[in-house]
Structure 1
Amino acid sequence: MTEAGGGKERLLRAAVEYVAANGVGERSLRQIAAALGTSHRMLIYHFGSKEGLFVEVVRAMEERQRELLAELTAAEDDPIDAARRFWARLADPALWPHERLFFELYGRALQGDPAALPLLDGIVDTWVTALVGPLEKAGTAPDAARAQARLGLAVARGLLLDLLATGDRAGVDAAMEEFTRMYAATLPPR
């Protein structure tokens, strides 16, 4: 691939796939560029730095996950079934490299790392907004839906972190199922 053919969107898609297949490890920007078929200069031009590239990879993955959530909630009449299917996708080992990158960058942003700070823009609000619609559709009042969306986001992120740290899929799935059952009990009768 020539550098002229290395548009930002194409490079981002390739980077998302590369991270999914290889993780990030201690690779240099030059190594990543070579794997993507471009130069480190093009990555710097489009993303500013290796960390800038990784922030964009995380944002792209988060957007894909929100699109999946929207598809599931549009296709499912039962929000609990949609939640279970969504969790199964989030907990899929194929996503673990992305989730490790997410938590690494999230931690760095919280420590004030300037390269990672952009990740914090909307990191909670975009998910709360995405979750409120399905909750309201299921009959939850708007104020309660916002609080429940934030709680659901915190539980999912906490359980993903637990899963990555322990590898205890059965234990984490059981905890999510318990949370899902508790939430189901708050829904109005259908």
Structure 2
Amino acid sequence: MGRPKQPDISEHLLDRCTDHALEHGLPDRLQPFVDATGTSARMLLYHFGTRDELLRAVLRRARQRHLEYFAALFSVVPGESYASTLARAWVAMTGPRAQPFLRMFGQLTEQHDTSLWPGFRAKATTDWLPPLEAGLATIDRAESATLVLAVIRGLILDIDATADVDRADEAFGLLLKSLDPSAPPISRGERTVSRPASA
């Protein structure tokens, strides 16, 4: 009878593999995970079964982190208008901390072979609707959740293709103004993107 697996060791290995994949992308072989964890391929397979099962576990752990981070950004903040919350969330979602998630899941949605996570593209879209609907309901615009999500996703793709953050910020600022005329301009540190009131 084999030695029982130890959940704490599995969790540690999974976190190390996830850290590596978020920084470098999903590997096509086990060796990068072996190097990142300081263990052996045999030990990884002992804990996770197969390479694909380990990759699925890494994707699920990365998605869990992604959901926690973005859901917190979309959450209603007492005393703050939701347009202000979305302005701040937009800057964070397109900032350095979010980039590893966008790279990993952007690559996953572009793959024709989605065997690692069937149905991911649909789930990755609908995951964000409930917190957006709840937040937008505070300014009587819950019905705009799909529109806001579509604009966010489209502008993130735009930034990825063109690196024109200023133009994307301006477009998102216009969306916020359409939802709430008192929405603040998009601000990234000392740089603020806004348009004249007559524009």
Q: TM-score, normalised by structure 2?
A: 0.72
Q: Distance in 1 between matches of 2:20 and 2:177?
A: 37
The number of residues matched between the two structures is: 175
Q: Which residue of 117, 142, 150 corresponds with 1:154?
A: 150
Report what 2:48 is aligned to. Answer: 44
Q: Determine if contact 1:159/1:172 at 8 Å carries over to the other structure.
A: yes
Structure 2: tracts of 5 or more residues without a match: 184-199
Matches within 5 A, 1:66-77: 66-71=70-75, 73-77=76-80
Report what 1:60 is aligned to. Answer: 64
Superposition deviation, residue 50 in structure 1: 5.3
1:17-64: CA deviation from partner (whole Å, max 9, x where unpaired)? 3344x2316563321243034443156339843541453144123312
Q: Distance in 2 between matches of 1:183 and 1:47?
A: 46
Q: Secondary structure at the match of 1:123?
A: helix
Q: Distance in 2 between matches of 1:114 and 1:149?
A: 29
1:121-169: CA deviation from partner (whole Å, max 9, x where unpaired)? 63222211121111112223xxxx2x41111111111111111222222
Which region of structure 1 is more displaced relative to structure 2, 127-136 or 24-33?
24-33
Report what 1:122 is aligned to. Answer: 123
Which region of structure 1 is more displaced relative to structure 2, 170-179 or 51-60?
51-60
Corresponding position: 1:82 with 2:78: no
AA aligned opposite 2:125: V
Report what 2:35 is aligned to. Answer: 34
Structure 1: tracts of 5 or more residues without a match: none
Q: Secondary structure at the match of 2:49?
A: helix
AA aligned opposite 1:96: Q
Report what 2:19 is aligned to. Answer: 17
Q: Determine if contact 1:55/1:119 at 8 Å carries over to the other structure.
A: no
AA aligned opposite 1:89: A
- Which segments of structure 1 move beyond 4 Å, counting only runs of 4 or more? none
Q: TM-score, normalised by structure 1?
A: 0.75
Q: Distance in 2 between matches of 1:130 and 1:15?
A: 29
Report what 1:171 is aligned to. Answer: 167
Q: CA RMSD in A?
A: 3.0
Q: Secondary structure at the match of 1:115?
A: coil
AA aligned opposite 1:6: I
Corresponding position: 1:100 with 2:103: yes
Relative to structure 1, the CA distance from residue 57 to residue 139 in structure 2 (aligned partners, 3 Å threshold; closer, same or farther) is: same
Relative to structure 1, the CA distance from residue 167 to residue 179 in structure 2 (aligned partners, 3 Å threshold; closer, same or farther) is: same
Aligned-residue identity in percent: 19
Relative to structure 1, the CA distance from residue 50 to residue 170 in structure 2 (aligned partners, 3 Å threshold; closer, same or farther) is: farther
Q: Distance in 2 between matches of 1:159 and 1:94?
A: 17
Q: Distance in 2 between matches of 1:138 and 1:42?
A: 52
More helix by share: 1
Q: Secondary structure at the match of 1:138?
A: coil
Q: Secondary structure at the match of 1:117?
A: coil
Relative to structure 1, the CA distance from residue 151 to residue 36 in structure 2 (aligned partners, 3 Å threshold; closer, same or farther) is: farther
AA aligned opposite 2:56: G
